[in-house]
Amino acid sequence: MRNKKKFLVLLISITTGWLLLEATAFFLLPSDQRSLAPEQIMKKYHNDYLQEYSLKTGCTFAESLIAHPVLGFVHRKAPFISKKCSQVFKANNIGVLSDRDLPFKKSAEDFAILVVGGSVADHIANYKIGSEYQLEKLLNEKFLPPHGKQFKVYNGALGAWAMPSQVNMLLMYGDRIDGAIALDGYNEAFPVQEGSRLEKVPAGTYLLSFADRNSLKIRYLNMLWAYQYAVSHSFLRHSYFFPTFYNVLTQIYQKSIVTPEDIDEFTTGNSEVINLPKVEARKWSGESLAKYMESFHQIGSFKKIKTAQFLQPTRFKGKILTDEEKSFHEFIEPQVFDLVTSQYTRLEKDKYPVRSLAAVFEKESGSIYSDHIHYRSEGSRSRGKDLVCEAIASELGGLWNLKKR
């Protein structure tokens, strides 16, 4: 009887303590997160692109990077990468994720297309259904290549890249391809929002790209990914305490391990500071983006390759969002993305091969987005990627004056 009473007292104590922890964690949440279910809190700020390489593979995005003199950073290749990372993904000869190396010279057999941009462009270039690249398959089904026997699509994109990386990729590799597709606009909005130069790479990512693989920075980041994975894929996701504790761990990382002082060197210490009022600085950055966009197409013309540029779909316009899609944090202010969009609109009016894909999801009632910008997948298929590939292929027919099959 005594043992039962002791057990009951212990059980009540544990339950009471846990409820107090849950209540405390709930009231420590930011006010905009208290309306969310516990399992949604961890998702609010998550990045599906990073999770693909970190949560699913055990190899963090930061571990896979190495600094690059022109592009900021690229993916590591053997032997300069851990065995763990080399087993779960493959960087090709130019340092982007792909099963295909970019040929050293043009082939008479193929019409080679390089897809450039950030993580969404990376996803589109690498999107396979079965053994076939979907964008490549659609182009070959719909059109005859301007020369050669077939279209062949190569990845030239990487997560967190933005203009002028697309321009630099053409400068570096334009003589090896026949066409280039830029799918961009969202990453470019970050420097525009800050009213800064576009040449800046994400400081935290760049800093980690040359951190020692066994450093506290990398080990702590690995621990954060492991914690997030454990909470997101177990019964713990129904608790308020564990997401709140994750926020505490993240704050420790941002304030004590990779400090603002560490980051500042790569945000203000290595590029020109635009000393203009906020609105004017943003306008200046937007106009700088347009100049780089023009350069992208002018370099293509100079190198005698076809170019096309697409403003990627976002949650701002073109789709009625589901409750899940609304719950993800938005990093860009709507008026900033309007400023970015206006640069694409102007170039399209000036007869550049530029189009907007903003309306590509307008008829979709289900969830397309898996976070703030990327598209969800169901097994090997992704409705969002399917629609973007179809839209790009259709638009290229007119932009490049392709003959239908």
Note the pLDDT tens digit of each residue in 242-278: 777 887 888 888 788 877 777 777 777 778 889 999 9
What's the pLDDT score for residue 329? 86
Report pTM: 0.88
Structural domains in the chain (count): 1
Residue 273 maps to a domain: no
Q: What is the DSSP string of 123-169?
A: HHHH-EETTEEHHHHHHHHHEE-SSSSEEEEEEEE-TT--TTHHHHH
Which range in 11-20, 196-205, 395-404 is most confidently predicted, on average pLDDT? 395-404
Residue 42 maps to a domain: no
> Does the pLDDT value for residue 309 go beyond 90?
yes
Residue 117 backbone zone (phi > 0: left; psi -120 to 50: alpha; other: beta): left
Mean pLDDT of the chain, nearest integer: 87
CATH of the domain at 162: 3.40.50.1110
Structural domain for 172, as ranges = 92-200+279-404
Residue 289 maps to a domain: yes
Using CA atoms, how far residue 332 sits from 77, 177, 335, 357, 390, in Å, is 33, 33, 9, 18, 27
Residue 306 maps to a domain: yes
Distance in angstroms (rounded) separating the CA atoms of residues 221 and 206: 14
Residue 190 maps to a domain: yes
Distance in angstroms (rounded) separating the CA atoms of residues 115 and 392: 11
Question: What does the block give as tokens for 310?
Answer: 């697409």
Residue 382 backbone zone (phi > 0: left; psi -120 to 50: alpha; other: beta): beta
Residue 25 maps to a domain: no
Question: What does the block give as tokens for 109?
Answer: 């057999």
307 vs 20, more confident: 307
Question: What does the block give as tokens for 157?
Answer: 């994109």
Which range in 17-31, 68-82, 227-241, 280-294 is most confidently predicted, on average pLDDT? 280-294
Residue 173 maps to a domain: yes
Residue 237 maps to a domain: no
Average pLDDT (304-320) is 96
Are 289 and 346 contacting, i.e. CB atoms less than 8 angstroms apart?
no
Average pLDDT (116-123) is 97
Q: At what angle do helices 241-252 and 216-232 cross, to 10 degrees?
A: 170
